Structure formats: C-alpha cells, structure tokens
Amino acid sequence: MSNLPLAERLRPKTLNGYIGQEHLVGKGAVLRKIIDSGNVPSFILWGPPGVGKTTIATIISKKLERPFYTLSAVSSGVKDVREVIRKAKSNRFFNSPNPILFIDEIHRFSKSQQDSLLGAVEQGVITLIGATTENPSFEVISALLSRCQVYVLKSMEKPALEKLLNKALSDDIILKEKNIKVTENEALFLYSGGDARKLLNVLEIVVNSFETDEIEITNEIVTDCLQQNIALYDKGGEMHYDVISAFIKSVRGSDPNASVYWLARMIEAGEDVKFIARRLIILAAEDIGLANPNALLIANNCFNAVNIIGFPEARIILSQATIYLACSQKSNSAYMAIKDAQELVKQTGSLSVPLQLRNAPTKLMKQLGYGKNYKYSHSYSGNFIEQEFMPEELTNNTLYNAGNNPQELRHKEYLKKLWKEKY
C-alpha cells in the first residue's frame, strides 16, 4: 500500500468519498441518480486531466455487480476491443445486466477502432463508459456519440482542492504520521492547475524532499522543489500550456526557427497531433487572417493530412504548415472585428433588424413593410448600391479596420471606392 503513489492511495471507493463535480455526482445530481439506480447507460466523461473521470468509472465498477472491462486507447487496438466484446458475449446470461467497458482516452481511438465498438453498444452487448480530455464532438464518431450521453467535468476549484489537501494530510496512511503544516497553499494550487492528481503528486514531491517528519510547506518551498523535479514538458499540465503558448507566439512573431523548435518539443513529448493541427487552424484565422487567406486553407489541409497519415510522417506536414504560417504576412483584423462586434452587441442588446433587411415570406409581413425598399445589389452597376445595413442606432460604427498589408490594402481601396467616407 505504501508503495503506491499518493493519488492512488487516496482514490475514493464510493461516491461519498468523491471530492468535486457536485453538478454531476453531488446529492440529487443527474449522474449520481443514474449510478445509484444501477441502471447505467453508455456515456462519455469529458473534462481536463485529473478531475476524476477514471475514479467515477472505478466507483461504478465496485458498486455494480456486473463484469467490468478496462481498455486504454493509448495501448489498445481493434483486436483488444473485439476480444473484450467476445468475452462480454460469453459472460452474458439471461436477463443479466450488460458488462461495462471503460475506455480511457477514447479520443485517441481511430475511426476503425470506434467502428468496432458500435455494434456491441447498439446491441446492448456492452455498456460503454468513455473518458476524454478532448471535445467528443470532434473526436468521437457521430454514430457512437449519438448513443452516449456526454457529461462534462470541470477543473477542480479552490474549495475542492482545499478539501482534497486536508483529506490527504489527515487520512493518508503515510502523511498522517508526519507533522505537516501548510503555512501557504497558493503555490500548491497554482501548480496543480485544477488537477486533483497533480495536486497530490506535487504534495508528495514536496513532502519527500524533507529529511525529517517535521514539515512546513510554503509557496517558496513548493516553487523551489518543483523547479528541481518538474519535467521539461508535462503534456497534461502547466508546462504543456507554456510550450503551446511559446509555439503560437513564435509563429505569430514570424520566427520560423523558434516555431519549429517548439513544434519539435511538442512532438518529442508525444503531444496529440490533432491538438497541434487545430492550433494551427485557429492561428491561421486569428493572426494571419485576411493578409493571406490561403493560410487557413493550408492549416485546414494540414489537419486533414495528419489525421490520415499519423506519426511519424505527420511531423513533416506539421513542419511545412508551421513554417508557411510563420513566414506569412500577419493581420488580426478579422479577430479584432468579431471581438469588437461582440462587445458592441453586449453593450447595445438585441436591436431591431431594419425593415428593409427583413425576410417577408407571408402577405402580412409584406403589408407590414418587411423587405420594403431593399435594393438588390446585383441590379445596379458594379453590383453595388449604397444603403444602410446596420440597425439605425449603430449607423457609422466601424468594426473592420483593414490591416497594413497588400491584400487588405486592396480591400480598403475597393471599399473606399464603393462607400467613400464610410471606410
């Protein structure tokens, strides 16, 4: 028992000992009711690392009297899935409840692996419980997703982290034998990043750094200790976000050397190829935008290509797209336009659509003036006629400001020719 990591030693066996996710497993909450009823349908748990997805599955396995199988999408293939399904079929008896199959990191399953699950879920051979840190809408095939309820788990907030910290100090078989005083907890919570498992791992590292059982934990001690122990890149934690931030800022800053370096850091750490590719798509729209509209096409093609190819060859495609985006001219005009427009909507509320812009599918609407005086642009010279498209209260508000690059300067010149002083 003492050889187990602290996080495993403290893993709760029942929902009564579970900390956090009150909206799902608190008294009277939806998932709590389902688990207590024993009638558990297929569902997917979506949330960041270390918030209790695996623990919920483990609690269900102990509470329900039915076979429970576990697979990790990192190490399992179609063959493993089919073997579990075969066992599930052979273990079924008349009127007996379905065996449960828990798949950790289900977002890492390919389409063919997910397809191999579909028939067994549809036919009730197994009840599927999946855990994912990625949006299931993007990572789980629609046929499987439509047969599963999705429950969203949240990062642990400070009250839950405090409760977990106190529980570790008072209940753990090893820590309770030491005289541990937590004078400051801000650094513990900061480095945990809302991740319960990381909080317990950090606590264990700090406690083990002391040579005596008289331990006082301060922010300075936690920071010093972690600087000596923390990995160069932690895919599930704080360093993960620092590296992706450095990657994005290097591309935004038009430095291909640094961009490829940070890309290599992520690849060597085993980062999900689709996560990197998605960031490139966002970056192409947010930071390059209308200065080079082809950037979005390149990034989107990169996402599709790495999805098909996979590692190790996908690294070449990622490198090509990264260098292209880093070398491209930059503009955030599209990003700023929608940001300012959303702020304007928040400030002004739901203003009425001008009558001439309204749709008039019925006679009554036409009588009320819907669509009246609207001018069809293509009926005029140059496919343009000046008219007001904004609500009356917002006339002359400017939301799009062209960036200082050849592509958008051409846009600006064209708009000025059409609208004169408006743009």
CATH number of the CATH domain containing 300: 1.20.272.10
Specify whether 125 is located in the same domain as 201. Answer: no
**What pLDDT, on the 0 to 100 scale, is given for residue 140?**
86
274 and 320 in a common domain? yes
Q: What's the full length of the chain, in residues?
A: 423
Averaged pLDDT, 234-250: 72
Of 3-7, 89-93, 220-224, 251-255, least confident by mean pLDDT is: 89-93
Within a domain: 333? no
pLDDT in tens, 282-336: 999 999 999 999 999 999 999 999 888 777 788 999 999 999 999 999 999 999 9
Across 262-285, average pLDDT: 87
Shared-domain flag, residues 91 and 51: yes
The answer on 126 and 39 residing in a single domain is yes
State residue 56's pLDDT score.
92
Is residue 13 assigned to a domain?
Answer: no
- What's the rounded Cα separation, in Å, for the pair 131 and 232? 26
Does residue 348 lie in a domain region? no
- Answer with the one of 309, 327, 345 that is the final residue of a domain: 327
Shared domain for 143 and 165, answered yes or no, is no
- Within this chain, do residues 291 and 170 fall inside the same structural domain, yes or no? no
Whether 353 shows a pLDDT value over 60: the answer reads yes
Give CA–CA dist 92/86, Å, rounded: 10
Q: Are residues 225 and 165 in the same domain?
A: yes
What was the pLDDT predicted at 231? 46
Q: What are the DSSP calls for 239-256, one per residue?
A: HHHHHHHHHHHHHHTT-H
Question: For 91-110, what is the mean pLDDT?
Answer: 78
Rounded to the nearest integer, the mean pLDDT of the chain is 85
Is the pLDDT assigned to residue 233 strictly greater than 50? no
The 10s digit of each residue's pLDDT in 384-400 is: 888 888 888 888 888 88
SS3 letters across the chain: CCCCCHHHHCCCCCHHHCCCCHHHHCCCCHHHHHHHHCCCCCEEEECCCCCCHHHHHHHHHHHCCCCEEEEECCCCCHHHHHHHHHHHHHCCCCCCCCCEEEEECHHHCCHHHHHHHHHHHHCCCCEEEEEECCCHHHHCCHHHHCCCEEEECCCCCHHHHHHHHHHHHHHCCCHHHCEEEECCCHHHHHHHCCCHHHHHHHHHHHHHCCCCCEEEECHHHHHHHHHHHCCCCCCCCHHHHHHHHHHHHHHHCCCHHHHHHHHHHHHHCCCCHHHHHHHHHHHHHHHHHHHCCHHHHHHHHHHHHHHHHCCCCHHHHHHHHHHHHHHCCCCCHHHHHHHHHHHHHHHHCCCCCCHHHCCCCCHHHHHCCCCCCCCCHHHCHHHCCCCCCCCHHHCCCCCCCCCCCHHHHHHHHHHHHHHCCCC
pLDDT score, position 319: 94
> What is the DSSP code (8-state) at residue 17?
G
Residue 11: inside a domain, yes or no?
no
Domain count for the chain, please give it.
4
* pLDDT band at 43; cut points 50, 70, 90: very high
Q: pLDDT at residue 232 above 80?
A: no
pLDDT at 236 over 60: no
Same domain, 390 and 280: no
Determine, yes or no, domain membership for 264: yes
Residues 64 and 130 occupy one common structural domain:
yes
Whether residue 120 lies inside any domain: the answer is: yes
- Give the β-pairing of 214-217 and 43-46: unpaired
**Do 175 and 60 belong together in one domain?**
no
pLDDT at 320: 95
**Domain end (from 152, 172, 205):** 152
> Residues 145, 176: one domain?
no
Q: Are 165 and 199 in contact (CB under 8 A)?
A: yes
**In terms of residue numbers, what domain contains 254?**
238-327
Tell me, what CATH number does 61's domain have? 3.40.50.300
Q: What is the pLDDT of residues 11-37, one digit of tens each?
A: 888 888 899 899 999 888 999 999 888
Q: Spell out where 218-336 has E strands.
A: none
Residue range 163-196, pLDDT digits in tens: 999 999 998 889 988 999 999 888 888 878 788 8
Q: What is the pTM of this model?
A: 0.56
For position 206, which CATH number holds?
1.10.8.60
pLDDT higher than threshold 90 for residue 374? no
Q: Among the three residues 168, 194, 229, which one is the final residue of a domain in this structure?
A: 229
The answer to the question of residue 109 being in a domain is yes
Has residue 302 been placed in a domain?
A: yes
Does residue 87 register a pLDDT over 50? yes
Same domain, 367 and 304: no
